[in-house]
Structure 1
Amino acid sequence: MQPVFTVTSAQWAAWMAAFLWPFVRMLALVSTAPIFGEPTVPRRVKVAMAVLLTVVLGPTLGPMPGTPVVSAGGLWILVQQVLIGGAMGFCMRLVFAAVQAAGEYISLQMGLSFASFFDPMGGGGSTMVVSRFLHMLAMLLFLAADGHLMLVAALADSFHTLPVADAPLSAQGWMVLAQAGAQVFNTGLLLALPLVTALLTLNLAMGILNRASPQFSIFAVGFPLTLLAGIVMLELLMPRLGAFLEPRFAAGLAGVADFVGALR
């Protein structure tokens, strides 16, 4: 006689909790994090990545709370996991937002504020060319520095720092996230400062030249000269972009860990 495999409702609820709650946190991070959460990545791929991470990391996460999944407490835990995972991905995306802000500053100074195009990877809005170019370089540097793997490691560590539980989240964590967002403009301006300074000096020189020689057509010469100087400065910036962004990637990952630790 063959043995009969039986599963009780308690076992089924425990298995569902052990998979569902970690899966929701991982899916929220995959949906918002750089590289993983780009709009060009199909939704099925994002869900498959979250399922794969859950299957791989699930056995190492320890016991889940005994709260039933289909209950008010289970729904509250579900909402918490969405907030935690989404905020972790958003915290890392702030680094790339700073790069895009630098591209906006440079475009405005170069006179390329009108050179925008439809950007499906940026949510379907219009994006300046320089901003999109720097963003793509930042993503390539992030992959080259194994930032995506370190982000997955930070996700795995978050379950040990902040286990799945029905306890309320600390408001201090959201304050840490807000303070990290304030660094977007500072970092973007710091990256764009050499080009902005050089182009501003060039514009001042052409203004003085136009004042000294009124017959000099500043409008006919100024725009091509500013554009050429901006392209040359961008070419000089490219070899040093990696050295500038690698500490920012490390600071972004440290910010993710600080955010998770402050939520306890």
Structure 2
Amino acid sequence: MIATFCRVGGCFIVLPGLSSGRIPGPARIYLTLAVALSIAFARGGEGQAVIYGSGLLRLIFAESLVGLFIGLAARMMMLALSFAGTSIGMVIGFNNLFGQGVEDSESQAALTTLITFSALVLLFQMDFHHAVIASLHRSYEIFPQGAVPEPQMLLVNITRILSSAFFIVLGLAGPFLVYGLIFNTAIGVLNKLTPQIPIFFVSLPVLIMGGLMLAYLALPELLRRFVDAFFQLPILP
């Protein structure tokens, strides 16, 4: 039971939506305990043994490491989306309005907060938490209880997930990057043609208005594709 609790707790401590400081600590502990009990009963006591001393410390370390690996896979996907949201805000000139982040206490651009919070709500609506619990249950087939994962395998899989996540979100932010490139190229040409007029200050409201219009049209599809890609991302090796 302790081993299962460590694996679930290691996952939940970095899992998007559950690792936020806005959720009280006792609530997270009770939720971790409930999920750990469910997984332990579903396994039917398989691999349960009494371990003492250094063996117990090794077991806690191994189980927590596996849980952290599963939770970090989802965390990296959300970090990639936050990076894409920051890039979108910079491109459309809407990155100067800051507020508190959804999960972190650090300040974050308002557009990035809107994108990440909307994606998080959609993920939980699509039973993201059920998929995480199922991954924790299936993880015992790949990482037996008490077995310390090979560092090389973990690093290879983390690199694969991180690169896949950033490629996905950069593809989703592509329309905004193209919009910013075309707009700034046009403004640069106009500035060369009419150097007496401060084109940059005149064009900034147009850039923001066009970017917000593009966000209004593209963000629903962007979020839908992100959620689809999130569930298709292989968390376990």
Match of 2:169 among 183, 188, 191: 188
Is the counterpart of residue 219 in structure 1 residue 194 in structure 2? Answer: no
Between the aligned partners of 2:40 and 2:180, the Cα distance in structure 1 is: 53
Between the aligned partners of 2:36 and 2:174, the Cα distance in structure 1 is: 43
Is the counterpart of residue 100 in structure 1 residue 82 in structure 2? Answer: yes
TM-score, normalization by structure 2? 0.90
Return the offset for 1:67.
5.3
Deviating more after overlay: 83-92 vs 54-63: 54-63
Is the counterpart of residue 257 in structure 1 residue 208 in structure 2? Answer: no
- Is the 8 Å Cα contact of residues 106 and 192 (structure 1) preserved in structure 2? yes
- Is the 8 Å Cα contact of residues 95 and 248 (structure 1) preserved in structure 2? no
TM-score, normalization by structure 1? 0.82
Deviating more after overlay: 198-207 vs 83-92: 198-207
- Is the 8 Å Cα contact of residues 119 and 227 (structure 2) preserved in structure 1? no
- Percent identical among aligned pairs is 20
1:133 counterpart residue number? 114
- Is the 8 Å Cα contact of residues 66 and 143 (structure 2) preserved in structure 1? no
Between the aligned partners of 1:80 and 1:173, the Cα distance in structure 2 is: 12
Q: Report the number of matched residues.
A: 235
Match of 1:149 among 119, 125, 130: 130
1:9 counterpart residue number? none
1:1-264 to 2 correspondence within 5 Å? 19-61=1-43, 62-64=45-47, 66=49, 68=51, 70-119=52-101, 121-165=102-146, 167-170=147-150, 171-252=152-233, 254=234, 256-258=235-237
The alignment's C-alpha RMSD in Å is 1.9
Between the aligned partners of 2:169 and 2:192, the Cα distance in structure 1 is: 33
- Is the 8 Å Cα contact of residues 32 and 89 (structure 1) preserved in structure 2? yes
Deviation digits for residues 133-178 of structure 1, max 9, x if unmatched? Answer: 110111122122211211111111112332212x332231332112
Structure 1 gaps, min length 5: 1-18, 259-264
- Is the 8 Å Cα contact of residues 106 and 195 (structure 1) preserved in structure 2? yes
In structure 2, the residue corresponding to 1:117 is in which secondary structure?
A: strand
Deviation digits for residues 10-37 of structure 1, max 9, x if unmatched? Answer: xxxxxxxxx1110111111111112222
Return the offset for 1:187.
2.5
In structure 1, the residue corresponding to 2:173 is in which secondary structure?
A: helix
Larger radius of gyration: 1
In structure 2, the residue corresponding to 1:33 is in which secondary structure?
A: coil
Structure 2 gaps, min length 5: none
- Is the 8 Å Cα contact of residues 100 and 188 (structure 1) preserved in structure 2? no
Deviation digits for residues 73-117 of structure 1, max 9, x if unmatched? Answer: 110010011111111111111221121111111111122333222
